[in-house]
Amino acid sequence: MSITEEDLMAYADEELGAKEAARVEAAIAADPALEERLAAERRLRTALRDHLRPVVDEPIPDELTAMIAAAAQVSTPEAALEADDRKIVSLATARATRNDHTAAQPSGLRQQWRSGLAIAASLVLGVVLGTQLHPGGSIVQKDGMLVASGSLSETLDNQLASAQDDGTDLRILTSFQRKDGDYCRVFEAVPTSGIACKTGGSWILERTSASTQRQTSEYRQAGSAESALMQAAQEMARGAPLDRVQEEAARSQGWSR
Amino acid sequence: MNRFCEELTALLPRLRRFARGLTRDAADADDLCQQTIERVLKARNQWQEGTRLDAWTYKIMRNQWIDETRARKRRSETFGREEEGTNVGSAGHIDAENLVELGNVGRALARLPDEQREAVVLVLVEGFAYKEAAEIVGVPQGTLTSRLGRGREALLRELGEAA
């Protein structure tokens, strides 16, 4: 009984049943040429694995683990959906919330923090969500920290949360001072949202998460990642988020304390 | 952290290896990983507990890469870049510098047609059974083994004793 090349390779790939494998083994034992072909196949397999092995040992980029960690904060997909349902904000409501915020001082801190979410929820319809924050472009790694660069850094420097165009790919949800006095800003972009604090002249990313915002035709839902970020910002902050006047003042001094 | 996310995190080194095998380029592989993780997290309620998370995730990665290569092909056709014509059906040309860095094995692997390369990587590097690899690629097992056979033959021919 002759052994085909396919038989031999299936044997090497451990795809044969015991009986078939025994037949191939017997043939190999009787034929040095078959034995050499099998040995060549095994050398190839080792060479391929060796070629790709270094990738397995490389450190995992922070973005990847951060994306998964952010998703893990929401325990189950069902819980995420329910949470999202509660967060559906119509455009009109979002505007009203913002107006309230400037007209009458809302009651307590919690109310003020809500406006950031309302901004997150007020993005104009029809925006192209395909634009990416390229990991090599807008977020770079420096001394083990993630640092904003390029357009992200520029937007963090210049854009006021209280005055932005609808339909931009990158939005500032809120600005605040954390407990040590550094200025921080919550931003929302696809695929990465986060909190950046101006430290030593750079915007250091204190937190990143995969953006989970979604759009429907009439409503925009603030994603679970964005609300988790707002929650985190609230915990980091000293007092209320900055209002428009405070933001302008902070911007004019380059966000340094 | 829930179990799904723990398992996914543990899978990251292997996912990055598969991405490198598919794309042949470190930057492309990183982008592909990120896009895949996004898709996987969005679709995680479609994953059936008790089935293999790695095979499911590989399948999503592979489909994401197909989408990306098609988009690139459309772009290159739109701009009519003639030098891309020598590489029909693959993600784009690899520049000379990359080819040097890849070494013998990497070069031989990079020159395989995409469908043979993915079969080779899934079975010989990632260690999937024929049945699992065929399921990931979405073809009958016979198609998968024939691609694997042709890819393996080409590599053995090219690398010969060096392999």
Which CATH number is B102-163 given?
1.10.10.10
Per-chain mean pLDDT for chain B: 85
Domain contains A39: yes
As a whole number of angstroms, the distance between CA B97 and CA A138 comes to 26
Q: What is the pLDDT of residues A118-158, one digit of tens each?
A: 555 433 322 323 233 444 457 777 776 788 888 888 889 98
A97 and A163 both lie in a single domain: yes
A77 and A143 both lie in a single domain: yes
As a whole number of angstroms, the distance between CA B98 and CA A47 comes to 19
Q: What ipTM was assigned to the predicted interfaces of this complex?
A: 0.84
Domain definitions of chain B by residue range = 1-93, 102-163
Q: Are A38 and A7 in contact (CB under 8 A)?
A: no
Residue A147 exposed, middle or buried by CB count within 10 Å (0-12, 13-18, 19+): middle
Measure in Å the smallest separation between the Cα of A155 and chain B Cα atoms: 23
A136 and A150 both lie in a single domain: yes
Q: What is the pLDDT of residues A76-135, one digit of tens each?
A: 544 444 444 434 433 444 444 444 444 444 444 555 565 555 555 433 322 323 233 444
For residue A174, the Cα-to-chain-centroid distance in whole angstroms is 18
A45 and A125 both lie in a single domain: no
Cβ A48–B1 below 8 Å, yes or no? no
The boundaries of the domain holding residue A18 are 5-57
Q: Are A176 and A233 in contact (CB under 8 A)?
A: yes
Q: How many domains does chain A have?
A: 2
From B46, which residue of chain A is nearest by alpha-carbon distance?
Answer: A77
HSE (CB half, 13 Å, CA atoms) of B21? 29
Q: Where would I find the H helices in chain A?
A: 5-12, 18-30, 32-57, 62-72, 77-86, 91-103, 108-120, 150-158, 224-236, 244-252
Domain contains A257: no
Q: Which residue among A40, A57, A74 closes a domain?
A: A57
Cβ B2–A72 below 8 Å, yes or no? yes
Average pLDDT value for residue range A146-174: 81
What H or E segment, with its residue span, contains residue B101? Answer: helix B96-111
Instruction: Provide the strand spans (E) within chain B.
Output: none
Domain contains A48: yes
A18 and A107 both lie in a single domain: no
CB contact A75 to B (< 8 Å): yes
As a whole number of angstroms, the distance between CA A97 and CA A112 comes to 10
Domain contains A142: yes
**Domain B1-93, what architecture?**
Orthogonal Bundle (1.10)
Measured over the CA atoms of residue A73, residue A76, residue A81 and residue A87, the dihedral's sign is negative
Q: What is the pLDDT of residues B5-55, one digit of tens each?
A: 889 999 999 999 999 999 988 899 999 999 999 999 999 888 888 888 999
> B57 or B26: whose pLDDT is higher?
B57
Measure in Å the smallest separation between the Cα of B147 and chain A Cα atoms: 12
